[in-house]
Amino acid sequence: MSTQSFLVTGASGFVGQTLTREVPGAHFAELPASVDLRDKQALRRAVQASSPNRVIHLAAQTFVPRSFADPTETFSINFQGTWNLLEALDAAKFTGRLLFVSSGDVYGITPENELPITELRPVRPRNPYAVSKVAAEALCYQWSQTSSFEIVSVRPFNHIGAGQNERFVVSSLAKQIVEIRKGVRPPILRVGDLSVTRDFTDVRDVVSAYMLLVEDGVNGETYNVCSGVERSIEALLNCMLNISGVSAEVYPDPELFRSAEQRRVCGSLNKINGQTGWLPKIPLERTLQDILSFWESVIQ
């Protein structure tokens, strides 16, 4: 792997920073922050200059509420931006491999008796973000069959870790807990629906899955990246309260509840495990401790 040269889009984001920090022995070139995926010419120049033999395409508009507020922006970044990247790679005579990062959100509502979710399940996107990812997946599959380079797609489920934006539930809860512990917030936690379950994976494990799949995944195939374990938000909250020694009143905030939300989520990791041997290794308690420690270092 040390001989590979990686171009990473979205390197300044949560996963991108983890990728470039946690993977030793690889040469990473970051798509400059000044280069917008929607700017075809700038993108072509950046790709030509980097001369990679592997590409990990992380850059995207990922916030679901924002996708409803501005679906055109989301589609132009996630779909058209991916198309522009593929064309830029083709123009640079790229012959390596690209890993396209989609989302487990593409599956939409799944009946509870049909869990865990496998890659064979039809996609039924329920928000503009997921629609943009389905469209980009289809585009990547077409290019994997007709271009000079190979493409593997991944559908990550919820991933968490130190440094994640507080817009996401676990990071938000951790920040509130640390603020309460430091006395800068009253002992009241604003929460959404704590009874829903999700499939959480440490971002460091997610990154290790990506590195395996960009090498060993099958061209044109799509893989779930998930823990295969279903956990409630309430269980994670209680674990963080226990770790931090904080007691607080829980206030269900109507603004944090989502209508027609998927009640339970659990993915199957059988396909990626069968292809690469990957399994998540980092215990949930360590992940939550690291998230709390991050906020301890940020909040004064």
Is it the case that residue 195 has pLDDT exceeding 50? yes
| Shared-domain flag, residues 65 and 44 | yes
| Shared-domain flag, residues 187 and 135 | no
Domain tally, the chain:
2
| Shared-domain flag, residues 142 and 275 | yes
Model pTM? 0.96
Q: Which of 39-48, 164-173, 255-264, 279-288 is predicted with the least confidence, judged by mean pLDDT?
A: 255-264
| Shared-domain flag, residues 54 and 152 | yes
| Shared-domain flag, residues 139 and 18 | yes
| Shared-domain flag, residues 174 and 56 | no
Is it the case that residue 2 has pLDDT exceeding 60? no
Taking only the tens place, the pLDDT of each residue in 59-72 is 999 989 899 999 99
| Shared-domain flag, residues 33 and 76 | yes
Residue 247's CATH number? 3.90.25.10
Domain ranges, residue 215: 5-160+200-228+267-281
| Shared-domain flag, residues 183 and 124 | no
- CA dist 134 and 210 (Å) reads 19
| Shared-domain flag, residues 36 and 151 | yes
Is it the case that residue 109 has pLDDT exceeding 90? yes
Q: Greater confidence, 225 or 254?
A: 225
Taking only the tens place, the pLDDT of each residue in 250-298 is 999 988 887 767 899 999 999 999 999 999 999 999 999 999 999 999 9
pLDDT in the model for residue 256: 87
